[in-house]
Each structure stands twice: as structure tokens, then as C-alpha cells.
């Protein structure tokens, strides 16, 4: 799962590199577009968590028929959510860019990127949902294979479409969006083959594709708190980006570069967190709650050690790393400040990410939602605003707000998980 997450982030890092070659305005436009797309995706990504919890529990109970049935119902929900959210993204693209302070250079680039990204939104959402189902069934290698294919297609196509290499026209930032859509589309086709041919522990049967509304509602109820949690996280990032945008295009571009680099540091964390969610769900299904808890804490320890090591390197080499993506001095300065302030606090985030996904794997998604509400919207957003507008810190106040919230997030997740109430959750 760590490899799966790492592979997927390769495309994001290379995307920042290629778009950075187009200039700071292009980088700012894609930063806004990707952050907004993350908010829209978050409204559907909880479906993957709901499906993962139900499938993992049924697999743990060794009920293959019920696991297959839940798989198809989660996919149906993903299709419906993709259509609704894609339309929402297309509708709000232009107003959001104006709200984020996009200037006359950034605006047309952002609209071009978002129209393509949201038109193909269904590929990204469904790949996420189906891979979550694979992970719930313990098929992490298949999920990794899907991401490997999608990333390979994306990585190969992006420079060709952005710069017009070979038979392709030079599409600029639109090429970046097309590469992402086509990459995820290839991954989605591969998933369909796997599910239809029964190459995983779960499958779909074309003779039994009727919707089961009670089960769909059950998955939605499990998914709702996780969906709210993810939306709270992504929307807070959008609000923070708006605060950064107040300081200009270079600030937005620099913050975008730093955000991608910080993702590199968190790559092992996302994979280990997904593993923790699967293991917690399956152990609870096997009536082993104490083993489920012990597993989660071991994963926390692993994650803190690994992410902490990577974050230390990122903080130490912040300036040369930032220069790789955009050598513009103003952009490098902003990115370097972000990395040096925020990267060390990823150690605490490493614990919060694992424990949040462990709650999800147990089907007890409400605590993660509540705790993220506290750390993101009660701490980070107000702190970032106050420190950046009402203190001499200025722009760096935004970064200190994020750093303080990261530390608080890890501490409160650890305290809540130790209470152990999630062990009794029925799924």
C-alpha cells in the first residue's frame, strides 16, 4: 500500500515539475485547480471508506457472496457521485478562481485545466473507490498494479501533451489535465477486467447488478462521517490557499510546490494508514479486538519513524528541492519557508493519519470527523488567519498555523484512540 501511494504521487510530483516549466502563473493555476478538485473528490472518497469497512468485515467473516454484493453497491454509489460532483466542479470552476484571486494570467489557464479535470472526474473517483474495495479485501497488490498502470500512462503522456512532443499538440496546462484523466481511465478499465474475470477475492457478476438500496444506505451511513472528515480537510486547504493567494501569484505557486514536496514525505504514511485500516477491520471481523488495537499502534510507530526521517531530509534540503520545480527566486523563498516550518511537524501527522484510517477500518468514522473538525477548522484556519493578518509574521503566519494544527491533530487522535470505544462498533 505504501508503494501504491508512492507510485501515485510520482505523477503529482512530475506534474509540478512539468507545469513549473510553463511559468509561475501556470503553476499557480494548477495549484488552485488541484486543490479545488481535491475538495470535490473528498465528497466521494468517503464511499471508498464505507465500502472498505463493509468488504473487510465480510471478508473477515469469510462471507464471499456478501462481500461481492457490497462491492457492486459501492461502485454504483461511486458512479452516481461522479456524475453529480463532476457537474458541480464544472459549474463552480470560474467563480472559485475569481474568489481565489486569480489574475488575468492565471484565470484562463485555471479554467482550461478545471474543465478537463472535472469532465473526466469519474475516472479519478471510481479508481479510488474500487481500489479501496480491493484493499478491504486484502488485495493490496492488485490496487498497487492499478495505480502503477494509471501513473505510467500519466507520466508518459504528460510531457507529450504539455509541450507537444511527437504527434501531439502543445496543450500547456490542459495537457496536464488530459494526462491525468487518461491515466486514471486506463486504471479504471484494468479494474473492470479484474472484477469481471474474478481475479481478486471480490468480483462483480453481470447477471446480478440490481441496486440494493438498504445496503447502499448502510454504506453511506458509514461513509458520511469519513466524507465529512475528508471534505473538512480538503476545504480547509482551499481556505488556507486563499489566504496564501492574498500575497500574490508567486506565493500561491511557492505554496503549491511545497505542498507537493510534503506529499513525498507523507507517502509511506498514507500506505501504512490504509494497511492499518484493512487490518483493523479484518481483525474485528475475526473477533480479535485486542490484536486490532496492537496492530494500529505498531503501524503508528513505524509511520512516525519513517515519515520523521523523510521530513528531516526535506527540511534540511528545502531550498535546493524547491528550486528543482520553479527556480523563480520569489517562489523558492516561499516554498523554502513552508518546508522548514511544516515538515518537522509531519511526525505528529503520521500518527493522526494512521489512527484516523484505523477508526475508518473499524467502521467508526465519527471520531475522525470530529477530531479533524477541531484540528483543522478550530485551530488551523483561525490561527493561520490571525497570524498572517494581525501579526508581523505575515505570510509565514499561515505556515505556522498549519504546523501547530499538525501537532495537535496527532495528539488528540492518540488520546481518543486509547479510549477503545471503536472496538464495539457494529458494521
pLDDT band for 150, please (50, 70, 90 cuts). very high
pLDDT reported for residue 427 = 58
Residue 109 sits in which domain range? 2-424
The arithmetic mean of pLDDT across residues 178-182, rounded, is: 94
For residue 171, give the 3-state DSSP assignment.
coil
For residue 427, what is the enclosing H or E element?
none
DSSP character at residue 421: G
pLDDT over 90 at 126, yes or no: yes
pLDDT over 80 at 205, yes or no: no
Q: What would the pLDDT profile of 397-418 be if each residue is shown by its tens digit?
A: 999 999 999 999 999 999 888 8
pLDDT reported for residue 116 = 94
pLDDT over 90 at 386, yes or no: yes
Are 325 and 386 spatial neighbours (Cβ–Cβ below 8 Å)? Answer: no
Are 102 and 33 spatial neighbours (Cβ–Cβ below 8 Å)? Answer: no
Residue predicted with more confidence, 427 or 260: 260
User: What is the percent of the chain with per-residue pLDDT over 90, rounded to a whole number?
Assistant: 36
pLDDT band for 127, please (50, 70, 90 cuts). very high
Counting every residue, how long is the chain?
A: 427
Q: How many domains does the chain have?
A: 1
Are 399 and 241 spatial neighbours (Cβ–Cβ below 8 Å)? Answer: no
pLDDT band for 300, please (50, 70, 90 cuts). very high
Q: What would the pLDDT profile of 60-91 be if each residue is shown by its tens digit?
A: 888 888 888 888 888 999 999 999 988 988 89
Supply the pTM of this predicted model: 0.76
pLDDT over 80 at 344, yes or no: yes
Instruction: Tell me the pLDDT of the chain averaged across its residues.
Output: 87
pLDDT over 70 at 426, yes or no: no
pLDDT over 90 at 183, yes or no: yes
Contacts 24+ apart (CB under 8 A), 191-198: 191/126, 191/127, 191/130, 191/131, 191/134, 191/146, 194/134, 194/142, 194/146, 195/71, 195/130
Q: What would the pLDDT profile of 367-385 be if each residue is shown by its tens digit?
A: 777 887 888 899 999 999 9
Amino acid at each position: 500500500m505504501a508503494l501504491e501511494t508512492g507510485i501515485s504521487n510520482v505523477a503529482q510530483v512530475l506534474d509540478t515539475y512539468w507545469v513549473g516549466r510553463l511559468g509561475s502563473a501556470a503553476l499557480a493555476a494548477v495549484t488552485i485547480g488541484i486543490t479545488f478538485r481535491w475538495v470535490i473528490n473528498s465528497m466521494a472518497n468517503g464511499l471508498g471508506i464505507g465500502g472498505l469497512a463493509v468488504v473487510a468485515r465480510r471478508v473477515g467473516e469469510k462471507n464471499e457472496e456478501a462481500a461481492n454484493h457490497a462491492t457492486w453497491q459501492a461502485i454504483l454509489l461511486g458512479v452516481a457521485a461522479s456524475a453529480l460532483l463532476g457537474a458541480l466542479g464544472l459549474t463552480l470552476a470560474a467563480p472559485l478562481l475569481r474568489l481565489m484571486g486569480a489574475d488575468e494570467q492565471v484565470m484562463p489557464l485555471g479554467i482550461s485545466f478545471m474543465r478537463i479535470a472535472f469532465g473526466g472526474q469519474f475516472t479519478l473517483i471510481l479508481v479510488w473507490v474500487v481500489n479501496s474495495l480491493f484493499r478491504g479485501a486484502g488485495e493490496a497488490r492488485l490496487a498497487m498494479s492499478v495505480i502503477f498502470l494509471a501513473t505510467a500512462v500519466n507520466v508518459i503522456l504528460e510531457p507529450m501533451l504539455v509541450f507537444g512532443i511527437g504527434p501531439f499538440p502543445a496543450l500547456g496546462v490542459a495537457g496536464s489535465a488530459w494526462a491525468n484523466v487518461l491515466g486514471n481511465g486506463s486504471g479504471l478499465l484494468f479494474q473492470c477486467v479484474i472484477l469481471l474475470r474474478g481475479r481478486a477475492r471480490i468480483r462483480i457478476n453481470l447477471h446480478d447488478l440490481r441496486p440494493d438500496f438498504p445496503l447502499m444506505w448502510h454504506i453511506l451511513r458509514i461513509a458520511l462521517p469519513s466524507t465529512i472528515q475528508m471534505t473538512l480537510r480538503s476545504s480547509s486547504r482551499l481556505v488556507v490557499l486563499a489566504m496564501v493567494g492574498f500575497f500574490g501569484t508567486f506565493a500561491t505557486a511557492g505554496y503549491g510546490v511545497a505542498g507537493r514536496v510534503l506529499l513525498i514525505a507523507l507517502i509511506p504514511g498514507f500506505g501504512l494508514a490504509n494497511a492499518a485500516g484493512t487490518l483493523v477491520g479484518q481483525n474485528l471481523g475475526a473477533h480479535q479486538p485486542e490484536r486490532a488495537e496492537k496492530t494500529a499502534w505498531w503501524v503508528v510507530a513505524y509511520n512516525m519513524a519513517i515519515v520523521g526521517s523523510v521530513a528531516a531530509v526535506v527540511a534540511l534540503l528545502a531550498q535546493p528541492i524547491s528550486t528543482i520545480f520553479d527556480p523563480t527566486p520569489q517562489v523558492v523563498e516561499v516554498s523554502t519557508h513552508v518546508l522548514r516550518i511544516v515538515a518537522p511537524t509531519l511526525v505528529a501527522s503520521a500518527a493522526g493519519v494512521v489512527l484516523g484510517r484505523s477508526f475508518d477500518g473499524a467502521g467508526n468514522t465519527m471520531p475522525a470527523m470530529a477530531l479533524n473538525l477541531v484540528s483543522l477548522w478550530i485551530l488551523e484556519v483561525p490561527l493561520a488567519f490571525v497570524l498572517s493578518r494581525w501579526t508581523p509574521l505575515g505570510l509565514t503566519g499561515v505556515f505556522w498555523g498549519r504546523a501547530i494544527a499538525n501537532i495537535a491533530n496527532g495528539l488528540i487522535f492518540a488520546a481518543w484512540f486509547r479510549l477503545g470505544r471503536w472496538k464495539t462498533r457494529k458494521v
